[in-house]
């Protein structure tokens, strides 16, 4: 007699019993999505302004992405990078065409992309200058990932605590302060690593001249400029790459999130200067750039790179920002609003942000809280103005309820 199969547990029980608790997970499980809408196990609908944390730029079940996955999956899913993978070459050529850079390396995530940038920057500088030239300047409130190297570049105490000695060679300066960066440069400095807009750090938007001045400084000092566009790249700010809004070109840029729209795709785009020191064995990724990942990336890029698509992001972002400003005028609990493209935020007084997130979830809207007081809105780039208006009405209602009870 065969043994009885154990009963299939509810999703929450499965997580409690079997999954390592590295996230403070909300006991909510989704079963399907379309566009900017999700449905949970009970059938309740949610308007999603989290988008997998700025990942699902084409929303859910986008036809171009679904078609690419189906077509590629029946041909080839994975091949070793011991061979030339055509889909990888095609995606590299498209990214290079749009970026103004020269060579691409593929991996699986933002942290991996940042790790590759760190290694390449050190390798280039040590090869061309000296073994002492390995330091990288990073900024306060940055977030670059949770692997040990990327974590060492992440200047937020809450992420760094408890992991013993981190990787040495990272010097921390204030964000949006060229003078402090200039003062931190020594003969040991090989690169500056920054986010064009700090996402996890609070949607911190620098002065309009920040990146152009930083590019000028790095060029003068013969050090590399590395941009982490994991969260802000691939159309999020209304241009394919965030740096394109400033007219500069970095030496390297790290990409992920929106490059795969939920499929694990990461990339580093680098200049010929960096590529000149590359050789077999200096870095690698088993799964990076496999046929399926790159087929997905190609399909996504074919949609997001269109001028009309990017223009609509700017239009919808401006519309959303105007609404947030009106809500600020109406509700004193809002201290500040800001945004660029479809990456927006508002700061709330009195530590109310987490309450607002929970109340919104009850009303069928999803967004999250960062830095304890900031509401971050990163909807799919395919979100409609009607959906933005609906989200604003929900937020308005919640803030009104809080005003009545405070």
pLDDT tens per residue across span 325-382:
999 999 999 999 999 999 999 999 988 999 999 999 999 999 999 999 999 999 999 9
Q: Are 175 and 194 in contact (CB under 8 A)?
A: yes
Residues 354 and 375 in one domain: yes
- What integer pLDDT is reported at residue 3 of this predicted model? 65
- What integer pLDDT is reported at residue 8 of this predicted model? 85
Residues 40 and 183 in one domain: no
List the pLDDT tens digit at each of the 406 positions of the chain. Answer: 566 677 789 999 999 999 999 999 999 999 999 999 999 999 999 999 999 999 999 999 999 999 999 999 999 999 999 999 999 999 999 999 999 999 999 999 999 999 999 999 999 999 999 999 999 999 999 999 999 999 999 999 999 999 989 999 999 999 999 999 999 999 999 999 999 999 999 999 999 999 999 999 999 999 999 999 999 999 999 999 999 999 999 999 999 999 999 999 999 999 999 999 999 999 999 999 999 999 999 999 999 999 999 999 999 999 999 999 999 999 999 999 999 999 999 999 988 999 999 999 999 999 999 999 999 999 999 999 999 999 999 999 999 998 766 5
Residues 352 and 300 in one domain: no
Last-in-domain residue among 304, 338, 358:
304
Say how many domains are in the chain.
2
What residues have CB less than 8 Å from 62, skipping those under 6 apart?
261, 303, 382
Asked if residue 6 is part of any domain, the answer here is no
d(CA 361, CA 364): 5
* Burial of residue 328 (number of CB atoms within 10 Å: 0-12, 13-18, 19+): middle
Which pTM value belongs to this model? 0.96
- What integer pLDDT is reported at residue 404 of this predicted model? 63
Instruction: Give Rg (Cα) of the chain.
Output: 22
Asked if residue 71 is part of any domain, the answer here is no
Which residues are known to be catalytic? 143, 228, 257
Asked if residue 157 is part of any domain, the answer here is yes
Structural domain of 253: 76-304
Find, among 343, 314, 315, 339, the residue nearest to 328 by Cα.
339
Asked if residue 103 is part of any domain, the answer here is yes
Residues 228 and 84 in one domain: yes
Find, among 193, 194, 262, 200, the residue nearest to 234 by Cα.
262
Furthest CA-CA distance within the chain:
78
d(CA 255, CA 232): 9
- What integer pLDDT is reported at residue 403 of this predicted model? 77
Last-in-domain residue among 304, 333, 358:
304
Find, among 13, 255, 237, 323, the residue nearest to 112 by Cα.
255
Sheet holding 45-48, edge to edge: 30-34, 37-40, 45-48, 365-366
Residues 359 and 257 in one domain: no
Task: Go through the chain and tell me how many residues it has.
Answer: 406
Residues 23 and 42 in one domain: yes
Asked if residue 152 is part of any domain, the answer here is yes
d(CA 191, CA 136): 5
Residues 291 and 387 in one domain: no
- What integer pLDDT is reported at residue 29 of this predicted model? 97
Phi, psi of 270 (to 5 degrees): -135, 155
Residues 114 and 202 in one domain: yes
Residues 151 and 189 in one domain: yes
Q: Are 56 and 295 in contact (CB under 8 A)?
A: no
d(CA 208, CA 246): 8
Last-in-domain residue among 278, 304, 330:
304
The 10s digit of each residue's pLDDT in 24-60 is: 999 999 999 999 999 999 999 999 999 999 999 999 9
In three-state form (DSSP H/G/I as H, E/B as E, the rest C), the secondary structure along 176-244 is CCHHHHHHHCCCCEEEEEECCCECCCCCECCCCCHHHHHHHHHHHHCCEEEEECCCCCCCCCCCCCHHH
Residues 223 and 359 in one domain: no
d(CA 66, CA 7): 33
Asked if residue 19 is part of any domain, the answer here is yes
Residues 112 and 256 in one domain: yes
Distances (CA, A) of 51 to 48, 58, 258, 262, 373: 6, 9, 10, 9, 20
d(CA 283, CA 136): 19
Tokens of 389: 């208006």
Residues 221 and 106 in one domain: yes
The 10s digit of each residue's pLDDT in 110-135 is: 999 999 999 999 999 999 999 999 99
Report the CATH number at residue 158. 3.40.640.10
Phi, psi of 368 (to 5 degrees): -130, 170
């Amino acid at each position: 007699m065969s043994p009885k199969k154990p009963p299939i547990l509810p999703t929450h029980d499965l997580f409690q019993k079997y999954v390592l608790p590295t996230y403070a997970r909300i006991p909510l499980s989704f079963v399907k999505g379309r566009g900017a809408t999700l449905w949970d196990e009970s059938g309740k609908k949610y308007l999603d302004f989290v988008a997998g944390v700025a990942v699902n730029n084409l929303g859910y079940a986008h036809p171009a992405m679904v078609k690419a996955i189906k077509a590629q999956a029946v041909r080839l899913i994975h091949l070793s990078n011991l061979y030339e993978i055509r889909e990888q070459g095609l995606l590299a050529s498209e990214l290079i065409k749009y970026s103004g850079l020269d060579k691409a390396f593929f991996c699986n995530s933002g942290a991996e992309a940042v790790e590759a940038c760190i290694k390449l920057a050190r390798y280039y500088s040590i090869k061309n200058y000296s073994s002492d030239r390995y330091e990288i300047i990073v900024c306060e409130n940055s977030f670059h990932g949770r692997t040990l190297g990327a974590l060492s570049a992440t200047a937020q105490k809450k992420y760094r605590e408890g992991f013993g000695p981190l990787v040495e060679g990272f010097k921390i300066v204030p964000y949006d302060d060229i003078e402090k960066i200039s003062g931190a440069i020594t003969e040991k400095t090989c690169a500056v690593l920054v986010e064009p807009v700090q996402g996890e750090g609070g949607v911190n938007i620098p002065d309009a001249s920040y990146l152009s001045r930083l590019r000028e400084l790095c060029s003068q000092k013969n050090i590399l400029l590395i941009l982490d566009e994991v969260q802000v790249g691939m159309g999020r700010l209304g241009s394919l790459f965030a740096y394109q809004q400033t007219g500069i070109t970095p030496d390297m840029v790290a990409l992920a999130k929106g490059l795969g729209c939920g499929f694990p795709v990461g990339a580093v785009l680098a200049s010929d200067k960096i590529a000149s020191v590359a050789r077999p064995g200096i870095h690698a990724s088993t799964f990076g750039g496999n046929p399926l990942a790159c087929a997905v990336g190609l399909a996504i890029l074919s949609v997001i790179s269109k001028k009309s698509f990017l223009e609509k992001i700017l239009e919808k972002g401006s519309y959303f920002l105007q609404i947030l400003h009106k809500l600020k005028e109406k509700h004193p609990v809002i201290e500040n609003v800001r945004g660029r493209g479809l990456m927006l935020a508002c700061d709330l007084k009195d530590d109310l942000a987490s309450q607002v997130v929970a109340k919104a979830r009850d009303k069928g809207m999803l967004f999250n809280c960062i830095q304890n007081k900031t509401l971050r809105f990163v909807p799919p780039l395919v979100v409609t103005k009607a959906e933005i208006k609906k989200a604003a009405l929900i937020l308005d209602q919640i803030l009104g309820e809080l005003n009545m009870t405070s």
